[in-house]
């Protein structure tokens, strides 16, 4: 049985576990622009930076000026892409999740994706389902960066903050982890965008360039960090 440095691994989903932006989110965004703001254009890197800061909702409302009705239309377009396309897991992530669970640890997901699609992605890749999933549900006040998902994970699993590692590629995960005293590892294998890397290098506990770096952090005899 593998030695675990963290009893509970908490994973984001999009661009952390599955490679979803090039397959789902950016193509969906282009379709949204085509319908709602045809005069606008953004590269995938610009789109990722907007998602990082100020965040997609602020970007849609304050920069693109989407109305409530347009936000509902945007959600319908996005959901149609998510429903039709299953994004691939990053190589090595599935095996790492299996190893964590075989060692007796917990694997939980806190994401802005819908729980039903998170389960579908895991099942399609033949990866063990997470013990707990907290996604984008009707009560948005409980979604990250709210501390509520991590607080529930600690309550249900009995894990202490020092026994948990949060892995995410964006600021909401970092903010949630900080609010609960949980260690945060920035995922860098989904994309390489310098402003995001610089921010995470200054603020995350660990900056991981490859999935193999996360494996070392979870199971090696000493803490591992790449900045």
DSSP class per residue in 55-124: -HHHIIIIIS---HHHHHHHHHHHHHHHHH--PPBPTTHHHHHHHHHHTT-EEEEE-SS-HHHHHHHHHH
Place of tokens 């090039």: 22
In contact, 5 and 218? CB cutoff 8 Å: yes
- Encode pLDDT of 147-172 as tens digits: 999 999 999 999 999 999 999 999 99
Overall size of the chain counted in residues: 227
Looking at residue 55, what is its pLDDT?
84
Which of the listed CATH numbers 3.50.50.60, 3.40.50.620, 3.30.70.1400, 3.40.50.1000 matches domain 8-19+89-219?
A: 3.40.50.1000
Work out whether the CA dihedral 9, 51, 47, 196 comes out positive or negative. Answer: negative
Low-confidence spans in the chain with pLDDT less than 50: 227
As a whole number of angstroms, the distance between CA 227 and CA 201 comes to 6
Q: Give the DSSP H/E element, type plus range, for residue 34.
A: helix 26-36
pTM: 0.93
Distant-in-sequence contacts of 138-145, Cβ < 8 A, 24+ apart: 143/112, 144/110, 144/112, 144/172, 144/173, 144/175, 144/176, 145/171, 145/172, 145/173, 145/175, 145/176, 145/179
Looking at residue 1, what is its pLDDT?
55
């Amino acid at each position: 049985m593998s030695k675990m440095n963290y009893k509970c691994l908490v994973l984001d989903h999009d661009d952390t576990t599955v490679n979803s932006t090039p397959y789902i989110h950016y193509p969906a965004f282009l379709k949204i622009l085509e319908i709602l703001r045809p005069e606008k254009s953004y590269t995938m890197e610009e789109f990722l930076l907007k998602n990082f800061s100020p965040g997609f909702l602020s970007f849609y409302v304050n920069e693109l000026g989407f109305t409530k009705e347009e936000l509902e239309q945007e959600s319908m377009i996005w959901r149609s892409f998510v429903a039709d396309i299953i994004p691939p897991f990053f190589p090595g992530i599935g095996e790492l999740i299996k190893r964590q669970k075989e060692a007796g640890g917990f694997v939980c997901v806190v994401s802005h994706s819908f729980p039903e699609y998170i389960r579908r992605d895991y099942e399609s890749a033949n990866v063990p389902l997470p013990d707990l999933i907290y996604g984008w549900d009707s009560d948005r006040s409980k979604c990250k960066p709210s501390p509520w998902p991590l607080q529930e994970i600690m309550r249900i699993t009995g894990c202490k903050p020092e026994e948990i590692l949060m892995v995410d590629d964006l600021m909401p995960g970092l903010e949630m982890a900080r609010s609960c005293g949980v260690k945060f590892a920035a995922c860098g294998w989904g994309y390489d965008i310098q402003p995001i890397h610089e921010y995470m290098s200054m603020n995350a506990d660990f900056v991981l360039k490859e999935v193999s770096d996360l494996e070392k952090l979870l199971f090696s005899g000493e803490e591992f960090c790449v900045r």
